[in-house]
Amino acid sequence: MKRRITLIAFLMSFALAWAEEKQDGEKLEQLEQKVDVLTQEIERIRLGEVVEPTLESAYGLGPAASKVYHVKKGVSIAGYGEMVYKNFSSEREDGTDSGATDQIDLLRAVLYTGYKFTDKILLNSEIEFEHAGEEVSVEFAYIDYNAWPELGFRAGMVLIPVGLINEQHEPIAFHGANRPNVERNIIPTTWRENGAGVYGEIGPFVYRTYVVAGLNAENFSAGSGLRSGRQNGSESSIEDAAWTARVDYVGLPGLLAGASTFIGNSGQDPDEDFDAKVTLWDLHAKYEWQALETRALYTQATITDVGEINAIPREDTDDDGELDTGLTGNKSVGEKLYGGYLETAYNVFSPLGFSQYLAPFFRWERYNTQENVPGGFTENPANNRTEFTYGLTYKPIDNLALKFDYQDMNNKADAGVNQVNLGIGYVF
């Protein structure tokens, strides 16, 4: 590159000297115009070597995940990571020994790789290393054809477009060392699946809708609801497909408000004569005004044929190596699950004119993974939970977040275990 710039500069000087020697005014004027063009080209080349694409969200994805949309052409590299220390109380709510062990975990280190083939066609992917490399998985990998701003086509492994966290799960995008539990146990973040669909922007509205492989009801549980039923794109059964869609209003500065849904059968086993239909929806909003940030979300899910789901063998009671007992007692999958949370934060540095970010925050969560169960089963009160999180988020720069929070964990069985969390997260 330096040789190229040096050569251009030499040619410019030679051309000007020759023109002056010839005293040809017309040629001199033409050459000066060419010199201006070449000067602009040199500046463009020089800036292109050092200027990185801006980290801004696109099509609902987090800032780092959106990086490929902001390059002109070719390869894009981005990523994020987070580490969390958890200190658990030695007692439960009822005063009994919690038995909980403190943990420090490199939760994840993530690499986004993308390639922009043309102005309209690109590849975007996320590879995640969880728990210091104990687990490696593909979080998404899809091809976009951005035909028009109002309509684009997408196919591959996609993030299910529900809630506030599933598509924007980078650690600088949410408060607290851990993601909200409503968006882990009711909406099973991070949730991805193989499929295809369309996306776009129409006026003040943005949307995404896909057909994907459905969940697998065989792995649903009382405590974590749909979470273990995610197939995650690994040889996913698609005896039953599902439809998911999302619409958001973004017409006012700082506001995002919308709704999303996921509907599909989850039986997956052709030998089982039941549908296990899952219907999940949510209403969500977030608003930022000057130093104030607020979030709100409510979600609900219903599951049919839960009696048949419970009867699927899951335990080996006679030690013969074969599963022969399903779910009984208070271990039933919930026929109805619900949850919601409210969150507010205030950047105390903003009114002072500081460029850094320091925000105390508070989050209230309420959720139940067994709101209803079939006849013959009982609800486990430990799954009816109310949680309060008080914390602080500090960002010395936009790409780095240091987090501290205290979580007051309550449930109807008085078995909650409070915890203190420290976290660090980054994006690039």
pLDDT in tens, 165-219: 999 999 999 999 999 999 999 999 999 999 999 999 999 999 999 999 999 999 9
- The answer to whether 167 and 61 have CB atoms below 8 angstroms apart is yes
DSSP state, residue 181: T
Band the pLDDT of 325: cuts 50, 70, 90. confident
* Secondary element (H or E) of residue 6: helix 2-22
Kindly tell me if the per-residue pLDDT of 22 is higher than 60: no
Distance CA 173, CA 179 (A): 10
Read out DSSP for 317-341? Answer: SSSSSS--B---GGGPPPSEEEEEE
Cβ neighbours of 268 (radius 10 Å) = 21
Kindly tell me if the per-residue pLDDT of 74 is higher than 50: yes
Cross-strand partners of 390: 362, 406
Amino acid 427: pLDDT: 98
Amino acid 273: pLDDT: 87
Least confident of 21-30, 90-99, 317-326, 404-413: 21-30
State the pairing for strand pair 103-116/135-148. unpaired
Helix ranges (H only) for 261-367 are: 306-311
Query: Which token pair is 367?
Result: 């959720």
Q: In sequence order, what are the residues at sequence separation of 6 or more whose Cβ sits closer than 8 angstroms to the Cβ of residue 198?
A: 151, 152, 153, 154, 208, 209
Q: Can you tell me whether residue 419 is helix, strand or coil?
A: strand
Amino acid 241: pLDDT: 97
- One-letter identity of residue 169: H
DSSP state, residue 41: H
pLDDT tens per residue, range 366-390: 999 999 999 999 999 999 999 999 9
Kindly tell me if the per-residue pLDDT of 50 is higher than 70: no
Q: Taking the model in full, what pTM does it have?
A: 0.87
Amino acid 323: pLDDT: 79
Q: What percent helix, strand, coil does the chain show, rounded to 5? A: 20, 45, 35
- The answer to whether 268 and 239 have CB atoms below 8 angstroms apart is yes
Write phi, then psi, for 229 (nearest 5 degrees): -85, -5
